[in-house]
Every structure is written in C-alpha cells, then in structure tokens.
Chain A
C-alpha cells in the first residue's frame, strides 16, 4: 500500500536522487573526458587541453595508435595472460575452495591455516623478488605474469563460503546414487556454482588484465610487455620527451601525442568495460554472498 508523501519526505527523496546522480556524474566524468579527448583534434588539445565539448573532432589518434606494432603486441600478451591465467586460476581456486569447504576433509583445519597465514603475514616484496628471479628463474618469461597471480586468498575464500552454503544432503544423495568425487564436483558443484564462478572468474580476469606490477618487476623484454605496462611507459616517456624538446618546438611536433595517450587508454580499458555489464549481476551476487558469510 502506498501512502501519500509528506513535504519533508518529498524533499528527502529529491535529495537522495540528487546525491546519487551527482556521485554517478563524479564517477563517470573522467571517462567522458578521456573518451572525448581521444576524439579531439590535436591542435585543440594543445591549445585548450581536454574539454567536454571540443570544436573539431578527429580520428587521427586512433589511426596512429592502431598502426603501432607495440600496442598490437601488448594486446596479444594481455589477452594471452588474461585467458590462460584467469581460466587456470579459476580451476585451481575452485578445486581448492571445494576441498577446503568440504566437511569430510580431515585436513580441513591445517589446510585452512596454510591458506590463511599468507593473508596475515608475508615475506614482503624483496624475498618475493629473490624467490621468483633467483630461485625459479622466471624473469623475462610470459609465465611470470601468469604463475605469480594464480591464487588470491580472498577469492578462494569467497568460493569456500559459497560451497559451505550448499546443503550437505545434495552431495550425500549423489554419493548414494553412486557418484564418485569427480562426478560430484563436476556435475553437481560446478553447475550450481555458476554465479560465484562467474564473479570469481571476472575478478581473476580483471587482475590479469589490469596487472603491470609483475611486468614492471620481472620483465625487461619489450615483446612481453602487457598493455598496462605500455601505457605506464607512455606516461613517463611523454614526460621525458617533453623535457628534451624545447618549449618553442613543441608545437611543431606533428604526431598527436596528447590524443594518442587518451586513445591508448580507451583501448586499454575497452574490453574489460564491455565484459563488465554482462557479468555485473553475478558479480554483485557473488560478492554479497562472500561478504555476508565472511
């Protein structure tokens, strides 16, 4: 039943809408600026900086960027590590999560402790660096970008708390019907865990897509640079380049450097933004299950 709203209530509703609208605009604004910037004519960018309503549009930045081998190469590296990494990571985490959540696992407590401790106490980046480069000799391989990020404790525990919500009877019934461990996992657990698997998979895909730190630490070979690292170098190189070119000559430089920066950024975030609306409903659901159940 709906009641008539008092004046105070109406004011409050208006305030709530305005607040959310303003915060939404605040969140979107930088993206708009960036996308519009990437389509703005270079001369205008130099003269006025990035604006929301440019006078002249131009595709020059994208034309320049799409011809670049470096970016193409970065795309292949990033797509490879995202697909291979996220799928492997999801498999490993789902199996670990199932095993940790299973009441029959007699080693549950020690296993859980073994996975918890790294969340609380770590060796820090120096020992990590030495282990990866001096012991495992993974530097300058594509595997260092994949292996170092295969398991995130937080995501494993999202899975554990989800598997714990599945009634035990389901598993017992399957066993009585003669299903073995593998069948229980693949034919019962995996299908009913789709929402959580989708959100954990999205999180893994995101962290692989967005990673630059492992690349920065362990990769010198430009052929193995993921997209984000290329973008990072563009931020610092542009700075360096600007210091080298005298201020008077800056106008004479023809390549659309400002636009290129924005176009590259847009292309770097593009695919993830396209994937996100598809998976958003799973992701909200998965996250709330994990958060509420601890």
Chain B
C-alpha cells in the first residue's frame, strides 16, 4: 500500500480515503467538542425563550429580548459587571508584577538546591483545588475566633469580623490569587529570560554594569513583549470571573456579594436557586459576546506586537 506524503488540491477526498488513520485519530476529540461545546452553543437560543423543562429547548415559547431587559435594568447588573472587571484587573496587575519579580530575582540565584526547592514550593499552590484553598481561607478567617484575629491581638490590633466586611475581600482575594498563580506564571517569564542572548550580558559586564543595572536595562526591557502578551491574553478573559475560585472561597456568604459576586457566580446562583434559566442564559450570552470581543481585540493587538505569540 502506498502513502501519499503530500496531497494535491483536487484529491482531498482521495487523500482521506488513503490515509484513514490520520483522520480517524481526530474523531474522538472532535466528537467531544461537538457534544460538549457545540451542542451548548446551539442551546444559546434559550436566552430568547421562556425555558420550560417539559417543552425542551425547541418547544419553549419565544420571548424576544425580555430576558435581557430584565437583567440589564436590574441593579445587580452594574454591581456584578463592576466586580468582575475590578477583581480581574486586580488579579492581572498583582499576579503579573509578582511573577515578573519572581522571575527576575530567581534568575539571580546560583545555588542549585535553593533554586530547585524554592521553585517546587512556589508552584505548589497552583496544584491545589480551590476547595482546599477555600478550606484554608475558612480556617484563617472563618469561625467565631478567626486565627487572623488571634494574630492581630498579638500585635494589639482590633479584631475584624472578616465574614461581614465585604470591602476587604477584593484585597484578600487578590493576595490568594497571587499566592496561587504567581509562581506558575513566573515559569513563562523565566523561559523568556533564558532566551535572552548571553552576549548582551557579557557586553554589559565588560562595560562594568552592576547587577541591578543589568536587570533594569537588559532583562526587564527584553521581557516587556512577553509581559505584554501574557497581560493581553489575560485581559481577553476579563469577562470570565474565576468561578471556581470565588465560589469555593465565598460560597453562599451573601454579606460578601456586594464586592465579590461576579457574572459566573451570579449565573450559577440564578440557575441553582432561582431556576431562572432564561435570564441566566441571557447573562451567559452577554458574557460570551463581550468575552469574544475582548479576546479578538486582545489577539489583534498581540499580533501587532508579535505575530508569533498571537492565539490565531
């Protein structure tokens, strides 16, 4: 049996028939996307219907934009939109700054054992489920006598009723996010630093530059494109509040909703508690469309910065 190495334009079908295995290999994966990603995309029409379990997606009555009206005119809309954007901005800025710092400082460490051990430990939080993180947060801030308050007492500071102070939670969540994600992100920056030509450092050293100067004048500037790309990719996902994180940590503590309720937690709650499928899918559709616009814009900008790094 003969194998074609290159297909002519006119013989696509022939190529597929002659190399069935090459195409068959993709089938299970494509099937997965069809069932679990494309069928739900079809289900978006629920946003325009008064969804009824008995009647199903096709059978339910059309209601036009009523589901959207209801959501856009409610006070919740502005709160969850603001929370989603503010929290994500905080996460992106602080995680990136921490990750860049880690990468730059890490690059200065020569001791192999210190390097290996600290790297392993810095990545560790990324491997934890948010439920485990939620449990830790719960034991630090929750209960009648939160441990953080015990420490505050040592420092003779006033105890705080953490579970009711919604103003503090954007900061607490940011700290948790940095704890969890900065080490992981720093791998990518470290990889970029490894790619910087050794000649540049050599030249700088001969010219008598100090270590700090080398970091600020060579490493950091050359890292900027990578930082920009990673930031743009993160900005592209800004409409997706981190559901797993926020739900696992905040849960159903409604006194914290004013600052921590994001689009995803709102949608999940409307589905589970209010069973309002129409409005929840309208919110979901709004989120998907805004997300798409942001991803495409971010990708467009990324392409202009560096074609290689763009998503598509």
- Chain A residues near B (Cβ < 8 Å): 3, 6, 8-9, 12-13, 15-17, 19-21, 23-24, 26-28, 30-31, 33-34, 37, 48-50, 92-93, 95-96, 98-100, 102, 104-107, 111, 114-118, 120-132, 134-136, 147-148, 150-151, 156, 172, 175, 180-182, 185, 206, 209-213, 228-229, 231-232, 234-236, 239, 242, 247, 258, 261-262, 265, 268-269, 272-273, 276-277, 280, 284, 287-288, 291-292, 294
Question: 24 A-B pairs, CB-CB below 8 angstroms?
Answer: A27-B122, A30-B179, A34-B135, A49-B147, A99-B25, A105-B22, A107-B23, A115-B30, A117-B37, A118-B41, A122-B288, A123-B39, A123-B42, A124-B44, A124-B285, A126-B267, A126-B277, A210-B127, A212-B131, A228-B132, A247-B144, A258-B139, A280-B123, A294-B308
Question: Chain A residues with Cβ under 8 A from B143's Cβ?
Answer: 49, 242
- Cβ of B38 under 8 Å from chain A: yes
**Contacts A48-B150, A129-B271, A180-B1 given; does A20 touch B105 at CB 8 Å:** yes
Q: Is there contact, CB below 8 Å, between A134 and B53? A: yes
Residue of B nearest to A247 (CB): B144
A191 to chain B, nearest CB (A): 17
Of the candidates A106, A150, A211, the one having the most CB atoms from chain B within 10 angstroms of its own CB is A106
Instruction: Give the docked Cα–Cα distance between A257 and B215 (Å).
Output: 50
Instruction: Give the docked Cα–Cα distance between A24 and B22 (Å).
Output: 46
Main SS at interface, chain B: helix
**Contacts A96-B25, A114-B33, A284-B187 given; does A127 touch B124 at CB 8 Å:** no
- Cβ of B19 under 8 Å from chain A: yes
**Contacts A13-B211, A123-B40, A124-B267 given; does A130 touch B57 at CB 8 Å:** yes
Question: Chain B residues with Cβ under 8 A from A284's Cβ?
Answer: 187
Please report which residues of chain B, range 41-75, place their CB below 8 angstroms from some CB of chain A when the two chains form the complex: 41-44, 46, 53, 56-57
Residue of B nearest to A149 (CB): B36
**Contacts A13-B211, A27-B122 given; does A127 touch B42 at CB 8 Å:** yes
Q: Is there contact, CB below 8 Å, between B244 and A265? A: no
Instruction: Give the docked Cα–Cα distance between A235 and B138 (Å).
Output: 8
Q: Is there contact, CB below 8 Å, between A151 and B23? A: no
Q: Is there contact, CB below 8 Å, between A206 and B138? A: no
Q: Is there contact, CB below 8 Å, between B288 and A123? A: yes
Q: Is there contact, CB below 8 Å, between B38 and A118? A: yes
Instruction: Give the docked Cα–Cα distance between A79 and B248 (Å).
Output: 22
Within the complex, which residue of A115, A126, A235 is in contact with B284, where a contact is CB–CB below 8 Å?
A126
**Contacts A104-B5, A262-B139 given; does A96 touch B29 at CB 8 Å:** yes
Instruction: Give the docked Cα–Cα distance between A128 and B43 (Å).
Output: 8
